[in-house]
Amino acid sequence: MPVAVAAVVLLALLAPLCKQCAAQKREVYSCRELREALADGGVRHIVAMQAGNFNCSADDLPADVPLKLVGREVLLEGQGPGLVYFDYNMVKGMHVLVSDGGGLTVRNVWLDHCLANDVLALCICSVLEGGWIDLVDARLSDIACVNARRSPAIQEVENRMRYTLGARARIGKDLDARTMLIKDSGWLSGGTHDSKWRFSNLTLTCTGNTTHPLPDARNARAPEYRIAESKGFLLEAPLGKGHFGRVYRGRKRTSGQLVAIKVIDLLPSQRSQVLAAYRECQLLSSVQHDNIVRVFTFYTAKVQRTQRLVEVIPDRSEYVEVGYQVPPQAGSSGGGAAASGSSGQQQGSNGSGFSLGSQQRARGSGGSGATGTPPQGSSGPGSNASSSISDKMEGVQSIQVQLVTQYCDMGTLEQAVKGGVFIDAVTGHRRIRHILLTALEIAAGLEYLHHSDRRMVHRDLSATNILLTTSADDDRGFRALLSDFGLSTVLSADQTHKTSQVKGTVRRAEQAAAARHTQRASFFTSYMSPELFVRDDVSPALDVYSLGIILHMMYTGQDPYQGKSPAMIILAKVREEARLPQLEGCPEAYQQLVWDCTHYERRSRPTAADLVRRLENLLMK
């Protein structure tokens, strides 16, 4: 038979085998694809690609619907060189059950947050009767530790090896304080009959404060951490401070969803401020728009001192532990359960730890979309409840409000402008289309607020409270959202409102300047419209003026009043003939838009709806 013919015949015979091999091997780039491959009974070899993203969530790998690996052996292998990183921080429970002749080999991967606290269990699977798992050239991490010898999870691995190999067996080698190496454990007995484990060249590490933040022990005892935890959220890292509170990045425990949590602490005597904070929550919970930060839920708590001294720091004031109460959410009933370490002690006791003591249903405790009455300890305008408030607030150190909102991962518009997001890095030219798209989104958010159905005025619009969130479908890579409604006002039918709170804003700028924070005070004064300094009038035109300043800043990259003191800015604004300087090289229509928005006379400014139409027309040119 000629060689060429023989080759053709051989290829024909091998083709079905090649197809079968290809069907048994699958490359994956995400946690969701990993689950799909594990669920496919025809797949025997899964390759996690280096270019993939394996930050897994409970939605990607749900533990309530686990996959069953029965009578099938699967190799999960990371594409080299180097380990492929899997983050299991947000995965709750085991999503794969290996049993009855099933086996899983895991090679060349790093599974972070993959060790349970007190049992020999992995993030990726649970090995049941008749199943086995073999970890080769891999790394497992515990995010809750900084010393491997003090990690209950890592110690449990050692204990299981001692159980199988004997107390005198050589277990592992310490590479450093955080890292332990196991060369070859041999086959270990699992937690159920006829289940087996084996570790070969396995590294066990502590990744606290490296891949994931490890909350400072002192901060973790602070009320906001425990209050958030009692409501199903974890505080991870501070993001910044605003006029009315501080903001943390957090996560929802059940799903791993990233959120932003605004924490506001007020004294029991600050009844008007308590109402203002609660009012912001109510306003935001009623707002639903693509260009306004979404509110998921909110709640209040009363923070009370206990009598027990839990820590004394030399040369510093004593740190006294505080207890707290978290009223149930609106529409729910009953009191909270005792927090960890409190052993069910009642609020106000001398016991250690925090307590969610038994309590009656509280008014105004918040909740997603809640429209209830103000929190306990506050009263509405015109009420005469000072004596009852004093009774309810006895022993209360502070009232804390937590507002859980959408997390915007790209920071503020001010940061983006300073980072040159609207300047083409190659040509140095302004990205006018990107500027117009961002302006349109801000205007659309304002149009929604100003609509006759809502009649809301933001009142504190600036580049610092325009947040950006990632948007893969957008040329800019982000979407702009309005946030921070601490000064919002719902207008009456006459379209304007006089308020002393505006003067408070001016006083805040003056006080900041007096405290040598002139640059920051000037920044906020820049966004304030002239009528605020003359008549205290609040109308939708106030927000339009602030948007005009933002339009100027996005084009030039800086504050139009940069370098001037608050007093100089105010004097410049109250002059009727004054207007912002002309923008160099700016399209005429955009320049006119800036001038119209910042017109001295508020009635001469366009409405937000007008701005939306004009910006849309500019984008079509």
Which positions make up the binding site for ATP? 262
Residue among 141, 125, 140, 108 at smallest CA distance from 35: 125
Q: Cα 294 vs. chain centroid, distance in angstroms? A: 12
140 Cβ partners below 8 Å, 6+ apart? Answer: 111, 114, 115, 122, 202, 203, 204, 205
| Known binding-site positions | 262
In the chain, the amino acid numbered 598 is T
Closest of 59, 56, 193, 34 to residue 111, by C-alpha: 56
| Residue 271 exposed, middle or buried by CB count within 10 Å (0-12, 13-18, 19+) | buried
Bridge partners (DSSP) listed for residue 84: 109
Q: What residue has token string 């893969």?
A: 472
Cis before 213? omega within 30: no
| Tokens matching residue 406 | 């959408």
Residue in this structure with the two tokens 């798992």, named with its chain if needed: 133
Burial class (CB in 10 A: 0-12, 13-18, 19+), 111: buried
Contact in structure between 154 and 145 (CB atoms under 8 Å): yes
Provide the total of helices (H) and of strands (E) in the chain, helices listed first: 16, 27
**Nearest residue to 35 via CA among 107, 114, 124:** 124
Distance CA 562, CA 522 (A): 8
d(CA 478, CA 484): 19
Torsion of CA 226, 466, 281, 333, to 10 degrees: -50
Angle, vertex CA 108, rays to CA 64 and CA 130, nearest 5: 50
Phi-psi category of 618—alpha, beta or left, where left has phi over 0 and alpha has psi -120 to 50? alpha
Q: Token pair 């190496």 is at which residue?
A: 181
List, in sequence order, every beta strand (DSSP E) within 63-195: 67-70, 73-78, 84-90, 96-99, 103-107, 109-112, 126-127, 132-136, 139-142, 173-176, 179-189
Helix (H, G, I), strand (E, B) or coil at 552: helix
Residues 6+ apart with CB under 8 A from 309: 318, 320, 321
Burial (CB < 10 A; 0-12, 13-18, 19+), residue 30, is middle
- The Cα 531–Cα 598 span in angstroms is 11
Phi and psi at residue 416, to the nearest 5°:
-65, -40
CB neighbours of residue 34 within 10 Å: 24
DSSP bridge partners of 30: 53
